[in-house]
Amino acid sequence: DVYKRQLINKANSTMVIATTVAAFALVFGLVAGKTLASQMSYQNRVIGAKKTAVNRLKADLAARTTLKNAYDDFIAQNPNVLAGDRNGSNNKDGDNAKIVLDALPSKYDFPALTTSLEKLITDQNLKIVGIDGTDEEATQAENATSPNPEPVPMPFQFQANGSYESIQALVDVLQKSIRPFQIQTMELTSPGDNSNMIVNIAAQTFYQPEKDLKITSQVVK
């Protein structure tokens, strides 16, 4: 009986050990399988994201080539969009890229604006009495670039003296200028006759910040 009891105890011990080992192997297998499945899922997401990025890059490269060809054709046009000489130096001359940049600068530059106004006014045989406005260069420096740029107004005022015909010519030039000018108010006074008038104009023009093209990275989780 003692011998049989020893055999039974030994068998029970063997069974417990076998069961423990089997349970450990099962749990290890489940954990390892779950980890492996999670890693496979993650790798599949990484591969999918990389394929999407590669396809986007290929599309961007194709678009770049198309854009470059269109740009080269645009600046090569002669006469230009203003019917001027692409290689000339008169008001309507220059390549189309220069004309576009002159129409809507990408930098805020109030002193350059006043210089342009001085030329426009004096070219119409008018005497400049004064040009006024607020130079917001420090404030506008924060808007140097933007992911979605919009035109930013630049208000100004000026006073000029001359004939009524010269004032008419100035207004016509402002309306037909490459750079857009919006006349908001205009006041005419005449201390004498139509050959000696004073015009006060409040207006605004615009500049548009450069587009901010940021290359970002994405973390795949």
Please report the pLDDT score of residue 106 as a whole number. 84
Supply the pLDDT for residue 3. 52
The band of 18, judged by pLDDT with boundaries at 50, 70 and 90, is low
Q: When comparing pLDDT for 210 and 121, which is higher?
A: 121
> pLDDT tens digits, residue range 110-160?
998 999 899 999 999 999 999 998 888 878 877 777 778 888 899 999 999
What are the C-alpha distances in Å from 159 to residues 128, 153, 181?
Answer: 6, 20, 16
Write out the DSSP string of 65-79: HHHHHHHHHHHH-SS
d(CA 90, CA 95): 12
pTM: 0.60
* pLDDT computed for residue 1 by the predictor: 59
Of 198, 194, 169, 173, give the one whose Cα is nearest residue 186: 198
Strand 145-146 relative to strand 182-189: parallel, antiparallel, unpaired? unpaired
Cα within 13 Å of Cα(152), Cβ side:
22
Question: Is 216's pLDDT higher than 80?
Answer: no
Please answer whether residues 150 and 174 qualify as being in contact, where contact means their C-beta atoms are separated by less than 8 angstroms: no
Report the distance separating Cα 137 and Cα 142, nearest Å: 9
The per-residue pLDDT for range 41-86, each reduced to its tens digit, is: 777 777 887 888 888 888 888 888 898 899 899 888 888 877 888 8
Separation CA 209–CA 203 (nearest Å): 20
